[in-house]
Amino acid sequence: MEIKEILAQIRSIVNNTMGGGFSFGQPSKLGDLYVIPVARVIYGMGGGVDETTPEKEKPDKENSSSPAEEKGKKVKVKVGFSGGGGIGLQSVPVGLFSIKEDHIRFHPVISFLQIIAMMSLSALFILIRKKLRYKKKY
């Protein structure tokens, strides 16, 4: 089996398993309320193959039949085969859907980093505003 066939099989397996079922969790029922978790899934894969072909000198021929063949000419000879690959996967929670009777709502999840970013931007805005107010006084 060639490396291209192996990579094609891996890609088809990953594509089949990374469908909508991977982004949306199993629904949970709490009384008459259904909750469905949602995640952002990012994945990538890559691979490479190399055939080693060092140059080796062609042995000298005493009786060269044609003038095109030169003594000591370098020729590429296939020596080895190597390859590698990898798959990366990242799943980040985005929120959840709540379904109650005929009403569907989306509840986003705010991460700790987003909270810190919002607090930092607010502090920066306050500092800039104070600095502008201070310049107007003097």
Percent of the chain residues past pLDDT 70, beyond the cut: 72
HSE-CB at 26 with a 13 A cutoff on CA atoms is 2
Segments making up each domain of the chain, as ranges: 3-137
Predicted TM-score of the model (pTM): 0.48
Position 109 pLDDT exceeds 70: yes
> What is the mean predicted confidence (pLDDT) over 74-86?
70
Q: How confident is the model at residue 112 (pLDDT cuts 50, 70, 90)?
A: confident
What backbone phi and psi angles, to 5 degrees, belong to 61? -110, 130
Q: What is the DSSP string of 60-120?
A: P-SS-SSTTSPTT-EEE---EEEEEEEEEEEEEEEEEEEEETTEEEEEEPPPHHHHHHHHH
